[in-house]
């Protein structure tokens, strides 16, 4: 049975540091800059693409009616903006089994 534990930030930085023979702090700085760039691009254009992996898209949700699951009472859900991740077809095909 495969280990179900996910890779954390520390393991991710260590992997990249070892793979590209740089210090862990440099690997961390790379990811910090990638995060900053993604934030800037999402604010500027509403999307950010990591080729072959994922496309992050800013999406506006309209206000709508919903239900409180505990009481069944109708409630108004306000409009809000969310960020959605769309997985690249290439990655999806590699990971998910074909039907």
Domain ranges of the chain: 1-42, 46-99
pLDDT of residue 3: 59
Would you call 49 helix, strand, or coil by DSSP?
strand
The predicted-structure confidence for 65-89, as pLDDT tens digits, reads as follows: 999 999 999 999 999 999 999 999 9
| pTM over the 0.85 mark | no
pLDDT of residue 1: 43
pLDDT of residue 2: 53
Fold classification of 46-99 is: HU Protein; Chain A (4.10.520)
The two structure tokens encoding residue 56: 């992050």
The predicted-structure confidence for 23-66, as pLDDT tens digits, reads as follows: 999 999 999 999 999 999 999 999 999 999 999 999 999 999 99
Residue whose token pair is 């919903």: 66
C-alpha atoms less than 13 angstroms from C-alpha of 24 in its C-beta half-sphere: 7
What does each C-alpha distance from 18 to 13, 32, 77, 92 come to in angstroms? 9, 18, 47, 27
Give the separation between CA 68 and CA 83, rounded to whole angstroms.
Answer: 24
Give the separation between CA 95 and CA 99, rounded to whole angstroms.
Answer: 13
């Amino acid at each position: 049975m495969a280990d179900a534990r996910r890779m954390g930030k520390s393991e991710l930085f260590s992997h990249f540091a070892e793979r590209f023979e740089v210090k862990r702090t440099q690997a961390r700085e790379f990811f910090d800059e990638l995060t900053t760039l993604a934030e800037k691009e999402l604010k500027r254009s509403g999307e950010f693409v990591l080729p072959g992996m994922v496309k992050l898209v800013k999406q506006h949700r309209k206000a709508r009616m919903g239900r409180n699951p505990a009481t069944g009472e109708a409630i108004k859900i306000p409009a809000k903006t969310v960020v959605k991740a769309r997985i690249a077809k290439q990655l999806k095909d590699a990971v998910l089994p074909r039907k």
